């Protein structure tokens, strides 16, 4: 599994292209030739970039859903709404489609934030606001999500 690290600031040009920062590009080098999928995030006003292998693994899980269930069909339709494939060009730029830029409210200043095996693409101001909003609740959230974990005494705290 891919484990991406880092948060990077960059700028989009008028066509929606952004230069992927070198440290992130190095981390993506092994998966870049296969391309990426970019989509709307479910819970936040941002975009998510999936390396193709990660996307394929997720689609394999979703492919097991019963398509004769209306709820499953609705979920699949909404989850995949606006999904596009993208590639790094020869100069290391990524073109973000205009409809997705509009969805995320991205103008020029962008934050690329690693989220384990995917990259979140944020408008810089919205990212900073989301981090500020979450700061007050993060300790409670960390305790709720990770506090009951007792995986072989790994000492993570």
Q: What is the mean pLDDT of residues 115-129?
A: 96
Question: Where in the chain does DSSP place strands (E)?
Answer: 7-11, 17-19, 36-40, 47-51, 84-86, 93-95, 109-115, 118-123
pLDDT band at 137 (very low <50, low <70, confident <90, very high): confident
Q: What is the mean pLDDT of residues 4-10?
A: 97
Determine what percent of the chain is predicted with pLDDT higher than 90.
Answer: 80
pLDDT band at 150 (very low <50, low <70, confident <90, very high): low
Instruction: Please classify residue 3 by burial: count the beta carbons closer than 10 Å to its beta carbon, then call 0-12 exposed, 13-18 middle and 19+ buried.
Output: exposed
* Selected residue with higher pLDDT from 152 and 112: 112
CA distance 22 to 65: 38
Note the pLDDT of residue 105: 95
> What residues pair up with 8 in beta bridges, in sequence order?
112
Superfamily of domain 7-123: Transcriptional regulator MraZ domain (3.40.1550.20)
Q: For residue 147, which of 118, 21, 156 has the smallest C-alpha distance?
A: 156
């Amino acid at each position: 599994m891919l484990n991406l690290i880092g948060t990077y600031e960059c700028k989009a040009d008028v066509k929606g292209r952004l230069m992927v920062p070198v440290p992130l590009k190095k981390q993506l080098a092994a998966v870049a030739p296969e391309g990426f999928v970019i989509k709307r995030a479910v819970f936040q006003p941002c975009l998510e970039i999936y390396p193709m292998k990660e996307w394929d693994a997720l689609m394999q899980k979703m492919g097991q859903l019963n398509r004769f269930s209306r709820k499953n069909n609705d979920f699949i339709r909404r989850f995949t709404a606006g999904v596009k494939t993208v590639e790094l060009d020869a100069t290391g730029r990524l073109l973000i489609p205009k409809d997705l830029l509009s969805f995320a409210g991205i103008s020029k200043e962008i934050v690329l934030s690693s989220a384990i095996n995917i990259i979140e693409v944020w408008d810089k101001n919205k990212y900073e606001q989301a981090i500020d909003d979450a700061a007050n609740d993060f300790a409670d959230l960390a305790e709720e999500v990770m506090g009951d974990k007792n995986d072989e005494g790994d000492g993570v705290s």
